[in-house]
Structure 1
């Protein structure tokens, strides 16, 4: 291979061509084998560090490694192509330069200097063959449902853990084993673990569990390396979703397919991104297809420019000629709700409207029960019960009464004034209770100080002070966890981060409208209280409330829909089509009110959910914009806890909300919550099947008890 700025044709180029030993046991006749690919290096005459590695395909010519190399070798068996960018034990940070035509491999630069990763003891350089999957893209405008993070805009990263050290630019056929959900500076940066199909261990490794048995220590080393490799450069440690656990092979393949679909949208011009040049020489029906002859001219022009320059030109190839034309601890509870025989359960066999009519009439027939008495009685129903949690929630109720009074007294006050007042009231009530070890205000992102004279308890409380808008309904939310840190001192972020939603011990919200409602659960059903203006107490209105299996209401901010994922748009289109069909049939038959879903939405997530809680239906917060997502700790987790206790369902589209954990305090996620059947229907539109849920509190479990 010539060096001084020139290149050779792939047929004569053999230095980086693979031998027949590189051929794996897998070969799809429609997919070129690894040996069919070669690389051509173009080096600057003036600056030897300025070099680019272009890819060629035998009997075809130049190609784009990102766009022209097929992702799937055998989709059914889960065998994929991988482009190696960095060999194991090396430090130079090479990568596909995706914003250049044909995406050559180049060494990354930072502040004009070539980039090397520093050794992180006890590791030397990268500890796997590192690269990417072709024909994949992590869309920076699409939020990942389970982490709330946007994609990083790059191809999907791959760590090949086989025994052999690869070469830069080599193509490997690999089998997927699992995936790490790394968060890099707030962006989703998946790391897929794979193994070369030719590796001696390949037959023994098929999923994540096999890694721990066959290559002990590898997973730990991988997490350790990715967590700390930027620390020597003065950056913070990286974070991980899913409680720092490697996700399964099947999950990894789902991520790969998602990123493949995102790439398809990109290469076919449905979306654009400044960091990607979609030029290719095999996808003839794409906007930036170019014949191999033109691709050769592009490479020749780069060679000419590198020969002429006296300095590192970086992305010079984008500036001239043909290139310019194509730029573009939870409390352990032994008792379950079905064991609470002393509580009267509503008759769920009645129709929805009759149920609520009966409830309204019975409201004035039953003796009033205050929230303090009700919760204290509940706490006594399971072993090791304590009144502290009941008293803590009672303190929240006291603060809610003061907030409601202030709202009524100053209905036209600016929202920010109301929010600050609500924040102050809730913080004071919780901090002086003596039951908290940590208080986190999700709305302000602050850890609130405790009143140490009141004592330090064992509960972690997250609250959202006020949501909604002036002139409409307002609401506040709270969530309670039992501490993980040692008792007797203030808690820390470990008491919140990586805690799954199921670890909540209580949650609830207050709704401020013409009447004030407080909805709470301590894991023993969901219950609605209302503020009695005469006595000044929150009085029980409905216990063991159940969300109907299917409801009449759907609620979504329609301004968020244009960039919502396809499954959400498909679900709403089906819903609208169904509504139109029913309306037409109703008009023809004139047989009473037309069935179908009714659209109701207000800028108050508490108000929207309260309507769903009572009447059934679905609330959608699909993202990807931040204000179209739900704050996980402050909104999604407490509402999901309530929905589950009411027999409903809360999902992020592909996993239950309560199975998630926060990788950062301000994590935001999509939220689809409400009736079991409605949310399952949405999941079918997204995944093709409903997502299984852990134990659900349903009416059938409790209806026989009186």
Structure 2
């Protein structure tokens, strides 16, 4: 294996083409010895030894250098060129205490982060580039060098809202290679690497006047096995690109080695040589820098194109043994929560009061919407936002309030001491004249008590950190559903007393159900496997399609009867806001014995890298969500904690 590896590395080389008028203007084209010109992005194979996890890496930027070199993928044969902006060559600033790039930086060939596909665990679209690699070995590489590396892990950087994976790898010939095999080895052998890497990527754009980059997964490098899954996903996306199933203006797929039956962009070495000659001639005719592409990463998605009554959840009445209607005690929100206060984490009277305050706001919204059926949705959302905020800000129970409508933290009442709860809410979704809904989520603060909270109370906290979640559905009846950590309970608005009273305590989602709810227009662009799942649903006579333009109404039906609700993406409007929708719905589903997944990981295991992070959502009956994961990922995901809808006592 060692001999074969060295031979494969030696067969690739770069040839510099210099601008005679500007010796700093260098383009690095790639050749294969004894063959001729190649496109490194498409003609160099990704895998050297797939079974042992050895991959080819193209070095673009050597360690300790500052010039921003990259594969010019929009150009024929993808040469390595120094990037330019406004006619000036780009350099990265030194990030104290480091000089330039702190690893050998480059990319994996035959990979592509598809900007039309959302990553299920972060909700971010791909950036349209090859998969980036940070090679951490002890040697300093050369521009265009092909290294053979083994993957150690991956960090999930979010750059301008796009997924920009950074794979951590090491040259298999490096003296440390035998000691490093996974993330845990990095901490043992190179204990400062993770901090240095995150610090560098977070701040290197600040001197250019840009914001800090952010990271998914609580700023932790993910495992080798997870990284290999990302590599394989990006390899499959590249196959779609190079076969013409997908086209993108930032990528020229001209290649000289791929089978023409596989890639329609195959050309001969002679044709490739013609392109090189044309570029050399243009260098002689002009002293200007190579023109910078006007395409921006933010355009990537827009530019991409494709190739070729009996069902009610409420018990009607309690019937005694003689068939007569029996009466039962009506439990209000406050009384019901108080009975449970010692049965769940943070189960104090404060949490019962918080649910009651929300209930008051929901009653006001319901009455306002009923009296104004022709009001514009935006105006109704503003009213709902103000009503919920007013109830929370003056309650003395909250330290932080975040509205997904305002997209901002809202101030607390100055005359009232801060409480201990963080509340996130989506004030209103749906359509006027149809079903409307409010969603909320509650966390217990992490910051010091006695003062207003901060972003640490919300960002990078997993869905498991929630202590309560729920929704209110404004439809033919007003339904307030929530969980405070021990089961899901549905309350109906009693029009006589004006109180929310228990209608269906301890809701349990069947392991499989008849309903499926999804906007079918988004399926053609959803991740592979979702279309197959939907086709199976449509061919099953026992299945029933139910969909409204209101996620609360759709989820409520699935919660009560079983089945699945899907928000598969990839566009942001077809995803679920993590803090405002996905996390609270997932909390409810888990408490009711169901499941919520992004297709490859349970929702509750995720944490928000930003306040506006959105993710795919597959939620409902356990068997149905398992089946989606089986079709998307190849197997259902094993959850860290399994919980059923536990009945504590009879009401």
Deviation at 1:384, TM superposition (A): 6.6
Distance 1:518 1:356 in 2: 13
- How far is 1:313 from its partner? 3.3
What does 1:200-239 correspond to in 2, within 5 Å?
Answer: 200-239=175-214
1:354 deviates by: 10
Give the match's secondary structure for 1:602.
Answer: coil
Alignment partner for residue 89 of structure 2, among 109, 114, 117?
114
TM-fit CA distance, 1:380: 2.8
Q: Is the 8 A contact 2:479 2:492 kept in 1?
A: yes
1:178 aligns with 2:140: no
TM-score by length of 1: 0.87
Structure 2 counterparts to residues 227-626 of structure 1, below 5 A: 227-283=202-258, 284-285=260-261, 286-314=263-291, 360-361=317-318, 365-382=327-344, 385-577=347-539, 579=540, 583=541, 596-626=542-572
Query: In structure 2, how many angstroms separate the alpha carbons of the residues matched to 1:429 and 1:234?
Result: 39
Q: 1:210 to 1:460 in 2, by over 3 A?
A: same
Tell me which residue corresponds to 1:18. none
| Aligned position for 1:132 | 107
Verify the 8 A CA contact 1:553 1:597 in the aligned structure 2. yes
DSSP-derived class of the 1:607 partner: helix
The secondary structure found in structure 2 opposite 1:49 is: strand
- The answer to whether the 8 A contact 2:113-2:237 is kept is yes
TM-score (ref. length: structure 2): 0.94
Which whole-Å CA distance do the structure 2 matches of 1:356 and 1:531 have between them?
14
Q: Distance in 1 between matches of 2:400 and 2:288?
A: 56
CA distance, structure 1, for counterparts of residue 554 and residue 634 of structure 2 = 27
Q: Give the CA deviation at 1:26.
A: 7.0
Determine whether 1:145 maps to 2:120.
yes
CA RMSD of aligned residues (A): 2.1
Q: What residue number does 2:584 align with?
A: 638
User: SS in structure 2 opposite 1:177?
Assistant: strand
Match of 1:674 in 2: 620
Offset of 1:358 from its aligned partner? 5.8
Deviations 1:325-363 (A, max 9, x none): xxx9xxxxxxxxxxxxxxxxxxxxxxxx89968665459
Q: For the residues of structure 2 that align with 1:405 and 1:26, how far apart are their CA atoms? A: 78
Alpha-carbon shift at residue 703 of structure 1 (Å): 8.9
Compute the displacement of 1:649 (Å): 0.3
In structure 2, distance between residues paired with 1:493 and 1:399: 25
CA change 1:392–1:65 in 2 (3 A) is same
* Offset at residue 696 of structure 1 (A): 2.9
Deviation at 1:310, TM superposition (A): 2.5
Structure 2 equivalent of residue 588 of structure 1: none
1:445–1:703 distance in 2 versus 1, CA, 3 Å: closer
Distance change (3 Å), C-alpha of 1:558 and 1:32: farther
Distance 1:469 1:384 in 2: 35
Return the alpha-carbon distance in structure 1 between the equivalents of residues 175 and 247 of structure 2: 42
SS at match of 1:550: coil
In structure 1, which of residues 197, 213, 220 is the aligned counterpart of residue 172 of structure 2?
197
Per-residue CA shift, 1:159-212, capped at 9, x if unaligned? 001111111000011000000000111111000000111111111111101100
Q: Deviations over 1:589-621 (max 9, x none)?
A: xxxxxxx21110000000000000000000000
CA 393–54 in structure 1, closer or farther in 2 if over 3 Å, else same? same
Instruction: Determine the structure 2 residue equivalent to 1:325.
Output: none
Instruction: Assess, with a 3 A threshold, how the Cα gap between structure 1 residues 354 and 493 changes in structure 2: closer, same or farther.
Output: closer
Greater C-alpha radius of gyration:
1
CA–CA separation in structure 2 for the residues paired with 1:32 and 1:451 = 71
8 Å Cα contact 1:443-1:634 kept in structure 2:
no
Q: Could you say if the C-alpha distance between residues 357 and 238 of structure 1 is closer, same or farther in structure 2, counting changes exceeding 3 Å? A: closer
- Cα 1:383–1:209 shift into 2, 3 Å: closer
Distance, in Å, in 1 between the alignment partners of 2:292 and 2:612 is 36
Pairwise CA distance, 1:455: 2.0
Aligned-pair distance for 1:567?
1.5
Q: Give the CA deviation at 1:221.
A: 0.7
Question: Equivalents in 2 of 1:190, 1:380: separation in Å?
Answer: 44
Flag the 1:384–1:447 CA change in 2: closer, same or farther, 3 A: closer
Q: Is the CA contact 1:44–1:307 (under 8 Å) kept in the aligned structure 2?
A: yes
Measure how far apart 1:232 and its partner are: 1.6
Which of these residues, 606, 612, 620, is aligned with residue 660 of structure 1? 606
Structure 2 vs 1, CA of residues 443 and 629 (structure 1 numbering), >3 Å: closer, same or farther? same
Deviates most, 486-495 or 617-626: 486-495
Deviation at 1:158, TM superposition (A): 0.0
1 CA distance for matches of 2:167 and 2:375?
Answer: 52
Task: Check 1:120–1:64 CA distance in 2 against 1; reply closer, same or farther (3 A cut).
Answer: same
Q: Judging changes above 3 Å, is the alpha-carbon distance between structure 1 residues 198 and 360 closer, same or farther for their aligned structure 2 residues?
A: farther
Match of 2:636 among 690, 695, 698: 690
* Aligned counterparts of 1:136 and 1:364: Cα–Cα separation in 2: 66
Shift of 1:453: 1.1
Give the superposition deviation at 1:309: 1.1
- Distance in 2, matches of 1:619 and 1:390, equals 29
Determine the structure 1 residue equivalent to 2:28. 53
- Distance in 2 of aligned mates of 1:493 and 1:169: 42
SS at match of 2:178: helix
How far apart are 1:635 and its partner, in Å? Answer: 0.5
| 1:82 corresponds to 2:28 | no
SS state at 2:70 partner: strand
CA gap of 1:360–1:562, structure 2 versus 1, over 3 A, is farther
| SS in structure 1 of the partner of residue 400 of structure 2 | strand
Instruction: String of CA shifts for 1:515-547, please: whole Å, max 9, x gaps.
Output: 100001011111100000000000001111110
Deviates more, 1:138-147 or 1:95-104: 138-147
The CA deviation at 1:386 is: 1.7
CA distance in 2, matches of 1:571, 1:230: 42
Q: What is the CA distance between 1:224 and its match in structure 2?
A: 0.8
Contact residue 115 and residue 125 of structure 2 kept, 8 A: yes
Q: Do the aligned residues in 1 keep the contact of 2:71 with 2:80 (CA within 8 Å)?
A: yes
Give SS of 1:452's match.
coil
The 8 Å contact of residues 267 and 278 in structure 1, kept in 2 or not, is answered as yes
